[in-house]
């Protein structure tokens, strides 16, 4: 019995030992990538909805985008400028929902343009802050690989 308990303790120690900071950062990075990939997928769906005037698709995809901005992974950056970009993104998604409810395709198209601009501005901001710290900016190869992966 004592041996069994010792074994159990050892097993727990081994499992717990995996929680070193490097593994933690890696796991977190993976989750962030997942949220960002979801973001790309939903914004592609919005575009699809606009292209075929599927207002329900526009509305649900924009709603999913707003939900993503509430996740811990999205909010990992806590600078005021990141928050401003997040608010711009959210506002554009909210406008998209409103325009879709009104079945206003031109309004939805404009809101999609605002949404896309907010993607670009936030990424630009991220690149600039990274450049200031060097090395490492958004890895474009990774972005393209991801785009291929999330094709519906
Ligand atoms: C408020 C800031 C912000 C906005 C707005 C934003 N993103 Fe991002 N995006 C990030 C962050 C943070 C990452 C994580 C990678 C990084 O830190 O470079 C990221 C990464 C990505 C990636 C790469 C994922 C990877 O694992 O390398 C894609 C693709 C992407 N975003 C698409 C979009 C699209 C499409 C939009 C607009 C519909 C958008 N983003 C809007 C902050 C933002």
Q: Which string of DSSP letters, residue by residue, matches 80-107?
A: HHHHHHHHHHHHHHHHHHHHHHTT-HHH
pLDDT higher than 90, residue 142: no
Residue 29 lies in a domain: no
Determine how many CB atoms are found less than 10 A away from the CB of residue 112: 22
Residue 9 inside a domain? The answer is no
If you take atom 30 of ligand 1, which residue's CA is the nearest one?
36
Residue 60 domain-assigned (yes or no): yes
Residue 5 located in a structural domain = no
Is 21 part of any domain? no
List, for residues 92-125, the tens digit of each pLDDT value: 999 999 999 999 999 999 999 999 999 999 999 9
Global pTM reads 0.78
Inside any domain, residue 18: no
Owning domain of residue 124:
34-149
Say if 114 falls within a structural domain: yes
Considering its fold, how many domains does the chain have in total? Answer: 1
pLDDT at position 12, please? Answer: 43
3-48 pLDDT, tens digit each: 655 655 544 444 444 445 566 667 778 888 899 999 999 999 999 9
> Minimum mean pLDDT among 14-28, 51-65, 103-117, 135-149: which range?
14-28
The protein residue with its alpha carbon nearest to ligand 1, atom 25, reads: 33
CATH of residue 101: 1.20.120
Whether residue 4 lies inside any domain: the answer is no
Q: Using most ligand atoms within 8 A of CB, pick from 29, 32, 36, 136 the residue to mutate for ligand 1.
A: 36
Tokens of residue 128, six digits: 């600039």
- Ligand 1 shell residues, CB under 6 Å: 32-33, 36, 39-40, 43, 77, 82, 85-86, 89, 115, 118-119, 122-123, 126, 138, 142-143, 146
């Amino acid at each position: 019995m004592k041996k069994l308990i010792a074994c159990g303790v050892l097993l727990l120690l081994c499992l717990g030992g995996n929680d070193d900071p490097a593994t933690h950062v890696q796991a977190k990075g993976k989750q962030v990538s997942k949220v960002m990939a979801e973001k790309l997928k939903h914004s592609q769906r919005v575009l699809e909805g606009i292209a075929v005037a599927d207002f329900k698709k526009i509305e649900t995809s924009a709603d999913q985008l707003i939900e993503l901005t509430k996740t811990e992974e999205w909010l990992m950056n806590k600078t005021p400028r990141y928050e401003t970009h997040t608010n711009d993104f959210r506002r554009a998604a909210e406008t998209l929902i409103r325009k879709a409810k009104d079945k206003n395709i031109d309004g939805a198209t404009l809101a999609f343009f605002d949404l896309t601009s907010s993607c670009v501005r936030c990424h630009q901001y991220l690149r600039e802050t990274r450049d200031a710290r060097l090395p490492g900016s958004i890895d474009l190869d990774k972005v393209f690989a991801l785009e291929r992966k999330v094709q519906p």
